[in-house]
Amino acid sequence: MTHNDLSERIDEYIKKMPCLSVSVGKVTEICNRANVNPFDLNQLISLDPVLRGRLLQLVNSVHYEHGHHVISPVKAVTKLGINTVKNLLLSTTGSLSLENENDGMNIKDFLFHSLSVGVTAKLLAARQKIDSVLFEEYFTAGLLHDIGKIPLNALMPSQYRLVLSDVERKQISLLEAEEKTLGLNHCMAGAMIAKSWKFDSPVADVIMHHHNPALYSGENANILYTVSIADHFSSFSGVPSVGNKIPEKPANIVWETLNIKEDSFEELKETVVKEIKKAEVFLHLS
């Protein structure tokens, strides 16, 4: 398959990307209730990168105001209304499924790695005394940073299994293995999603550049650096990192710019692990 052929398939997939299979049962359970609790909707949206991305795509296409994107699921639910959000969530459990997930990456591992990075990024933002108004953006960027893995895995599960095997067997980076086997990497695929769903530039830049933050020269270095460190730290939370057991350590400039020490995660780990455990209980996975 040529690069162009794969890009076209990814474009088509993005238009109807389903929520992660581990979320399907909870989506159906919540949305079929006579009285849907907005808190439950918000919690569910905060756990699944696809649900959060699709919600932000919808709310920002309908309620885009004064050049500002809505980044909070709470605000999105308020603006769109519960019934609209419920219909959106149900539509993501439709005909296109992730039934071949076990042929490629482990979807549960992917979900909890994404959550771990999102929670850690938000905690690191607080540690840097970033304006609390931006915390949700840091969480969203962390949750969505690896979203490009989803179409690669879903469209070519057996090839993606080979990619993950090559990373471990040949001791090469995930990006190198993806490009060698697939012709493009998950950052490129993620950038296609960000463009299609019209993500704001901080989140889009994180998705595209989180594996090479030191080479980035744009205006969103702080959030990019923060998510890159959170990605590295997540491997110490006990949650598998799909593709790299220990993600590449960010360059010194990343640590020095944010003034974050390599042992900082020990203070954050308990909170991150608690959030993951809460997610397992909420999704009935524990």
Backbone angles phi, psi at 68, to 5 degrees: -110, 135
Model pLDDT for residues 252-285, shown as the tens digit of each residue: 999 999 999 999 999 999 999 999 999 999 998 8
If asked whether residues 48 and 85 sit together in one domain, one would say: yes
What's the pLDDT tens digit per position in 92-114?
A: 875 444 444 456 888 999 999 99
Q: Residue type at 185?
A: N
* 107 in the same domain as 83: no
Average pLDDT rounded to a whole number, residues 27-34 = 88
State residue 111's pLDDT score: 93
**pTM summary value:** 0.91
- Say which range, 4-13, 67-76, 111-120, 130-139, has the weakest mean pLDDT: 67-76
Q: For 154-201, write each residue's pLDDT tens digit.
A: 999 999 999 999 998 998 999 999 999 999 999 999 999 999 998 989
Q: CATH number for the domain including 277?
A: 1.10.3210.10
- Determine the Cα–Cα distance for residues 4 and 8; give it in Å rounded to an integer: 6
226 belongs to a structural domain: yes
Amino acid identity, position 76 = A
Range of the domain at 64: 3-91
Q: Which of 42, 66, 91 is a domain's end point?
A: 91
Contact present, 115 and 240 (Cβ < 8 Å): no
163 and 241 together in one domain: yes
Asked whether residue 68 falls in the same domain as residue 144, the answer is no
Asked if residues 124 and 226 have their Cβ atoms less than 8 Å apart, the reply is yes
Whether residues 119 and 58 share a domain: the answer is no
Determine, yes or no, domain membership for 96.
no
Can you read off the two tokens belonging to residue 181?
A: 């086997």
